[in-house]
Amino acid sequence: MDAEKLVAVYVKIRDAKAVKTKELEDTIKDLDDQLDAIEQELLEICKVTGQDGGKTSAGSFTRSVKTRYWTSDWESMYKFILGHQVPELLERRIAQSNFKEFLKDNPDLLPEGVNVESKYSITVRRSSN
């Protein structure tokens, strides 16, 4: 196969995919905005009636509380976690770039149970012509 033709087709497909992705993202944003407006109206109904939901012929709705936690001070959070021995407060995933750097500096310190997968990939850039 001819690399020039393959790259040209690749760029053309990538551009078409980007257009479709943008169109879909715009459509989804519009739908999400509509859903958010309806949710606000349903929350207002719950507030006014003092109920946590209701049933209709089209379906039911339930009001619930969702709570999120985050920190703006990771140094203090790490100290807290270490001080109270509660590593389960963190999610179970490895920070990829940090771990890569750690292994680069410590190639003999791969913890038990850590899996490594490396594979080749291709990066295609558009011609500057």
Tell me the per-residue pLDDT of 43-87, one tens digit each, with 9 for 90 and over: 999 999 999 999 999 999 999 999 999 999 999 999 999 999 999
What's the whole-model pTM score? 0.69
Residue 102 backbone phi and psi in degrees, to 5: -60, -45
Mean per-residue pLDDT, 114-125? 91
Q: What is the mean pLDDT of the chain?
A: 95
pLDDT at position 129: 77
Residue 1 binned pLDDT confidence (cut-offs 50, 70, 90) = confident
